[in-house]
Amino acid sequence: MSLNEAKKIAAYRAVDEWVKTKTAVGIGSGSTVVFAVDRLAERVKQEGLEVVCVPTSFQARQLIVENNLVLGDLDRYPKLDVAIDGADEVDKDMVLIKGGGGCLLQEKIVASCAEKLIIIADYTKNSQKLGEQYKKGVPIEVVPMAYVPIREKIQQLFGGELKLRMAVAKAGPCVTDNGNFILDWHFPQSADFNWTEVNRDLLLIPGVVETGLFVNMATKAYFGMADGSVKTQEK
C-alpha cells in the first residue's frame, strides 16, 4: 500500500468514527487532511451530513471552500466538537510533533478549542520516541526580529541545533500564515526530555509564539498501515 493510500484509510476511518451531523469540526493542515476533507464532502453529498468547518491554515481554508463545505471561524464557533489533523510524529505517550507544514500555531489554537483532537497519519509517523522517525526537528514559530537570540537561548538551554526554515520557491525564510519565522530545533537524540517541561520552557522565551510540541492534546491517533489495516492509539 502506498503512503497516500495509508493516509486515506486513516483519514476516512477517523472522519467516519468522529464526525457527527450538526457539529463544528476543526480542519487541520497537510497532505493527510486532504483525504479527511474529501470524505467530509462525500458524506455531505451522500448522507446530508451538516458540519461547519473551522480551518487551521490558508491551505485548510482553501480545501473547505473548494469542497463547498461550510466555512466557520472561532468567533462564531469558539467551541468545536472535534478537530481532525495530521502529525509529523506521534510517540508512545501521544506527544506529537506538528508544524512540518508550518501551520502549528493555528493548529494548536484550533485543537485547544476542540473537545477532541483526532490525529490521522500514515505508518511512518508512529514512533516510540520523538525523533526516531521524523528527522526535521521540532518546529518553533518565532517573531522574526527575535530569531537569532531565541536560537541561542534554546541552544544554551537544551543543546542541539536550530535551523531557520527557508522557503522553497522564494529567496529567504519561510514566512508562516501569521507572518512569523520557523526555527526547526534538531534536539539531541540522546537526551531523555520531559516534553511538558520543554514545551513550557520554550514558551517562556520572549518572541517564541508557539511550539510544534503537542503534549496532552490528542485523544486518539489513526495510522494507515502498509498492510491496509488501520492501527489506533490512545493515551
- The sign of the dihedral angle between the CA atoms of 17, 21, 25, 30 is positive
Residues that bind ligand 5RP (CB under 6 A): 28-32, 85-88, 98-104, 107
Residue 64 CB, shortest distance to ligand 5RP, in Å, is 16
Min. distance of Cβ 145 from ligand 5RP in angstroms?
Answer: 23
C-alpha cell at 21: 451531523
Report the catalytic residues.
107
**Nearer residue to ligand 5RP within complex by CB, 19 or 59:** 59
DSSP helix/strand/coil, 200: helix
Q: What is the Cα–Cα distance from 157 to 97, expressed in whole angstroms?
A: 19
Q: How far is the CB of 79 from ligand 5RP (least distance, A)?
A: 22
DSSP H helical segments within 67-138, as ranges? Answer: 104-112
Q: What is the DSSP string of 97-109?
A: E--TTS-HHHHHH
Closer Cβ to ligand 5RP, 55 or 86, answer by number: 86
**From the CB of 132, what's the least distance to ligand 5RP, in Å?**
16
How many Cβ atoms are within 10 Å of 172's Cβ, its own excluded?
9
Stretch (H or E) spanning 30: none
User: Could you give the maximum distance between any two Cα atoms of the chain, in Å?
Assistant: 55
Name the residue among 166, 169, 195 with its Cα closest to residue 182.
166
* Exposure on the CB side of residue 209, measured as CA atoms within 13 A: 26
